[in-house]
A and B are shown apart, each in its own frame.
Chain A
Amino acid sequence: MPISPSIDSLDPTEVEAARPYLAGQSAARLRRTMFLATAIISLVPLVIVSFLYYDQYERSIRAEAVEGVSRQVTNVKRSLEFFLTERRSALAFIVRDRSFSELCNVETLSRTMQHMNDTLALGSFADLGLINAAGKQLCYTGPYDLQGRDYHDQDWFYRVGQRGAFVSEVFLGYRHSPHFAIATRQERGSGYYILRATINAEVLAEQLVTAGLTPDDDVFLVNLEGTLQSPSRRYGTVLQRVAIPIPHATGEVQVLKRDDEHHRPAVIGCSRIADSPFVLVYIRPVVPPQSADVSLPRLLVFLLVSAALVLGVILWGSRQFVATLRAQNLKRAELMHKVEYANKLATIGRLAAGVAHEINNPLTIINEKAGLLKDIVNLEAQFPRREKVLGIVDSIAGSVARCRKVTHRLLGFAKHMDVGSETIAVEELLNEVVGFLGKEAAYRNITIAIAAEPGVPNIESDRGQLQQVFLNILNNAEAAVSDGGRIDIGVRPAGERRVAVSITDNGIGIPKENLDRIFEPFFTTKEGSGTGLGLSITYGIVQKLGGEITVKSEAGKGTCFTVLLPVRRG
């Protein structure tokens, strides 16, 4: 495939405007679209899966916390209920076992309490008192001076009177120290009396300590109104109100996932303690262990790193893809350009030959008429103004000669259809051609050097036409260089099957805007003196010989023609 002026020698902006390959802007757009699409397609699932996974993980952490809290609440509730039942039973036993008069004796009462605390290992009773139906404390043993106190207006007194047995909330009472009361009623005739024991609030708090309590857990008791019955690690001490809403508690163990007052995820377990005003509350913050493989920051780092990797790969990939596409498009455009150019030259060639042929006939007539005129003038001895007429005839003949030169070259352009074939040593042929150039090079002190690389094979081609090719190029080179200039001819093998001949001059060069037109017929910069056919003929011959011709040039620096010739034709 012959090459027209190689496309990379053209101004890229012009080429982009004219050729359908990916120009810079559309390449960038394609690259951007591809990048975005691929990035979205690959990153969205990654992000979704990561967060789903994280969510699942968090759920499982919470579920674990829920289960743990549920177990803890059950355990604490059981032991607390046992604690209260044990003490209620002990009081019930005493009040039935001992007579009213026995219980009215301080000594007996004191011994009974000591007996319960020490011998039965029930411990924890702070005091013990006997109260009549009017609310007056008849007998009392304990560290406080409560003998004769009146309880008729107190809530617990009212309740125990109604129910027969009662566990009170924690309150300060006469002793001004938080405690709660366990009381039991005993019928006596038409009336009744009450045996009442109190237990310090600290004892209640001690019952909440259990195995499996983690340092972050907060376990405490509240009454139904949300007042603390035991100290809380985070919500204050006894008899303060807790700052968070307590779920409505029943006898069942309830566990809820709920954020704490600082909006941190937490699990809250609660349950009503049977036969008491107490509600057990157990709060465990949900803190994923820091050493775990998945924490939110770790997940984010993982996401960022993988996203960066993915984006990097996509960026690289889309760049590669677009570059390949662009290169292919460029190649195709170049090919199209060549085909177009070859077609154009062929069309112009046929047209030129037709025109030349048609012009030749009238040109011949003009020539002969002028000749006849000259003959007639010469025959007449006394022809008036003979010199003038002969001058006109010569001028006509000169103009015809110029026309003939043009038509002959035009025909030559179209003529090189058939090609002879013989074995040619390229370097030898070039030496011959340089010899044809005549003495002009020597007069102008132009150096012409031929340098052949070793291993250049002989080629099969048409000697005469090859001579014309190189003669044309060398003529141009000679015209381009100034006196004392230099023309270098290089011969080298080009691959296995071709020979490259480069002719480089250090002359005036070819401006960019002319470079892609120099092989067109009638294109000339030698106004007046050139036909503009030399290079187009050269191009046509090289094409017929199965070769390629390319040109590179820089205005002011010189021009390099490269002719690639096949070693074997066909």
Chain B
Amino acid sequence: MPLRVLFVDDEEDLVSTVVERLELRGIEATGAVSGEQALTLVERQPFDVVLLDVRMPGLGGLEVIQRIKRTHPDLEVILLSGHGAREDVETGRRFGAFEYLQKPVDLEDVIATLHRAAARREHVHR
């Protein structure tokens, strides 16, 4: 069963590119360009891991992770940020983020992290 990933970022171009690259590697990737869209998608279809940008207009990543964790506590979330402020890292961890990656990220690192997150999900929620 392929890994089901939701990638959320306000940069549409980035979303489409990353989604395409993940799919090339056999990952079932879906893109969302806002926090609101991400929440709708999470309700509509099942995912294993959410890749979530912290700084977005409208609903920010930290808000989104809180809501996701409220309804889907078993869904693993990896935070992405171009900023990497220490307090964001701390807050993200407190809200249950699996990992915090700083942009620009190497796709191989992302995929490795995705697999680790999925593995934990398997391990914890089986």
Binding site for B on A (CB under 8 A): 353, 356-358, 360-361, 363-369, 371-372, 375-376, 379, 400, 403-404, 407-408, 411, 415, 417-418
Which of the residues B55, B86, B102, B104 comes within 8 Å of A417, measured between beta carbons?
B86
- A363→B104 contact, CB < 8 A: yes
From 17 to 57 in chain B, residues with beta carbon under 8 angstroms from any chain A beta carbon are: 17-18, 20-21, 24-25, 55
A544 to chain B, nearest CB (A): 12
Distance A417 CA – B82 CA, assembled complex (angstroms): 17
- A364→B87 contact, CB < 8 A: no
Distance A373 CA – B25 CA, assembled complex (angstroms): 14
Distance A259 CA – B14 CA, assembled complex (angstroms): 117
- A411→B84 contact, CB < 8 A: yes
- A357→B104 contact, CB < 8 A: no
Most buried by B among A361, A379, A407, A418: A361
- B83→A400 contact, CB < 8 A: no
- A415→B84 contact, CB < 8 A: yes
CB<8 Å pairs between A and B, sample of 6:
A364-B82, A372-B20, A403-B104, A404-B104, A417-B86, A417-B87
Distance A363 CA – B104 CA, assembled complex (angstroms): 6
- B83→A365 contact, CB < 8 A: no
- B21→A375 contact, CB < 8 A: yes
Instruction: Count residues on chain B whose CB falls below 8 Å from chain A CBs.
Output: 22
From 69 to 110 in chain B, residues with beta carbon under 8 angstroms from any chain A beta carbon are: 82-87, 102-107
A368 to chain B, nearest CB (A): 4
Which of the residues A360, A365, A411 comes within 8 Å of B13, measured between beta carbons?
A365
Q: Which residues of B contact A366 (CB under 8 A)?
A: 104
3 closest Cβ pairs, A-B complex: A360-B82, A364-B104, A368-B17
Distance A390 CA – B104 CA, assembled complex (angstroms): 20
- A368→B21 contact, CB < 8 A: yes
Main secondary structure of the interface of A (DSSP, over half): helix
Distance A361 CA – B87 CA, assembled complex (angstroms): 20
Distance A153 CA – B6 CA, assembled complex (angstroms): 164
Which of the residues B17, B25, B103, B105 comes within 8 Å of A369, measured between beta carbons?
B17
B11 within 8 A of A: yes
Which of the residues B14, B25, B85 comes within 8 Å of A364, measured between beta carbons?
B14
B120 to chain A, nearest CB (A): 25
Q: Are A418 and B103 CB-contacts (below 8 A) given A364-B14, A368-B21, A372-B20?
A: no
Q: Which residues of B contact A411 (CB under 8 A)?
A: 83-84, 102
Which residue of the partner chain A has the closest CB to B83? A357
Q: Which residues of B contact A408 (CB under 8 A)?
A: 84, 102
- B14→A368 contact, CB < 8 A: yes
Q: Which residues of B contact A371 (CB under 8 A)?
A: 17, 21, 107
Q: Are A360 and B24 CB-contacts (below 8 A) given A365-B11, A368-B17, A368-B18?
A: no
Q: Which residues of B contact A369 (CB under 8 A)?
A: 13, 17
- B24→A379 contact, CB < 8 A: yes
Q: Which residues of B contact A379 (CB under 8 A)?
A: 24
Q: Which residues of B contact A404 (CB under 8 A)?
A: 104
Which residue of the partner chain A has the closest CB to B84? A411
A377 to chain B, nearest CB (A): 11
Which of the residues B20, B87, B103 comes within 8 Å of A360, measured between beta carbons?
B103
Interface contacts beyond A357-B83, A371-B21: sample of 4 additional A-B pairs, CB < 8 Å, sorted by A: A357-B55, A367-B104, A372-B21, A417-B86
Distance A511 CA – B25 CA, assembled complex (angstroms): 54
Q: Are A415 and B85 CB-contacts (below 8 A) given A404-B104, A408-B102?
A: yes
- B86→A360 contact, CB < 8 A: no
Which residue of the partner chain A has the closest CB to B20? A372
Q: Which residues of A contact B107 (CB under 8 A)?
A: 368, 371
Which residue of the partner chain A has the closest CB to B105? A364
Most buried by B among A364, A367, A375, A411: A364
Distance A417 CA – B14 CA, assembled complex (angstroms): 30
- B21→A364 contact, CB < 8 A: no
Which residue of the partner chain A has the closest CB to B90? A418
Distance A361 CA – B86 CA, assembled complex (angstroms): 19
A349 to chain B, nearest CB (A): 13
Distance A360 CA – B104 CA, assembled complex (angstroms): 6
B29 to chain A, nearest CB (A): 12
A403 to chain B, nearest CB (A): 8
Q: Which residues of B contact A363 (CB under 8 A)?
A: 103-104
Q: Which residues of B contact A361 (CB under 8 A)?
A: 11, 14, 82, 103
B7 to chain A, nearest CB (A): 10
Which residue of the partner chain B has the closest CB to A411? B84
Distance A375 CA – B111 CA, assembled complex (angstroms): 14
Which residue of the partner chain B has the closest CB to A369? B17
Distance A407 CA – B103 CA, assembled complex (angstroms): 9
Q: Which residues of A contact B86 (CB under 8 A)?
A: 415, 417-418
Which residue of the partner chain A has the closest CB to B53? A361
A450 to chain B, nearest CB (A): 31
Which residue of the partner chain B has the closest CB to A400? B104
Q: Which residues of A contact B102 (CB under 8 A)?
A: 360, 408, 411
Q: Which residues of A contact B25 (CB under 8 A)?
A: 375
Q: Which residues of A contact B103 (CB under 8 A)?
A: 360-361, 363-364
Q: Which residues of B contact A417 (CB under 8 A)?
A: 85-87
Q: Which residues of A contact B55 (CB under 8 A)?
A: 357
A140 to chain B, nearest CB (A): 147
B37 to chain A, nearest CB (A): 18
Distance A375 CA – B103 CA, assembled complex (angstroms): 20
B97 to chain A, nearest CB (A): 18
A82 to chain B, nearest CB (A): 126
Q: Which residues of A contact B106 (CB under 8 A)?
A: 367
- B104→A375 contact, CB < 8 A: no
Q: Which residues of B contact A375 (CB under 8 A)?
A: 21, 24-25
B48 to chain A, nearest CB (A): 21
Distance A357 CA – B80 CA, assembled complex (angstroms): 12
- B17→A365 contact, CB < 8 A: yes
Which residue of the partner chain B has the closest CB to A368? B17
Distance A112 CA – B125 CA, assembled complex (angstroms): 175
Distance A447 CA – B11 CA, assembled complex (angstroms): 51
